[in-house]
Amino acid sequence: MSAVSPMPIFTRTFDLLTWLVPVSNHFPRAHRFTVTQRLLNAAFDLREHLEAAQHRRGRARVQALRRADEALSRLRLYLRLITRWGWLSAGQYQHAARMVDEIGRLLGGWLKVSQNPSS
């Protein structure tokens, strides 16, 4: 009996979260309950909407995937802001941007297939 491997988008979002949470511990304490919390909420919302989509079909799946896409957009915004403010180094931002870009491509593909199931 072979084990079913998780969809790549779940592995990538897990990797993003396991990287992002410890990095965020080094952000300015004064912003821990504002910007830092919003960044982390967007990242966790993304993952939770993907989990919801996995357990739904049809229109409900598409709606969950669109909510995931909205969370991903918020995450991109917060990453750009914290980089502008110097909370992430250029290398850290490049690493995060690569992960987010890959997640975006995977999400876009899943959304496309879910919107056109007969394709």
Contacts of 93 by beta carbon, 8 Å cutoff, 6+ apart: 79, 83
Question: Number of helices and strands (H, E) in the chain?
Answer: 4, 0
> pTM for this one?
0.91
pLDDT digits (tens), the chain, 119 positions? 445 668 999 999 999 999 999 999 999 999 988 999 999 999 999 999 999 999 999 999 999 999 999 999 999 999 999 999 999 999 999 999 999 999 999 999 999 999 986 65
**H-run or E-run covering 113:** helix 90-115
Report d(CA 108, CA 70) in Å as an integer: 12
Q: Set out the domains of the chain in order of their start, with CATH numbers.
A: 33-113 (1.20.1440.60)
Alpha-carbon torsion, ordered 36, 45, 19, 79, to 10 deg? -50
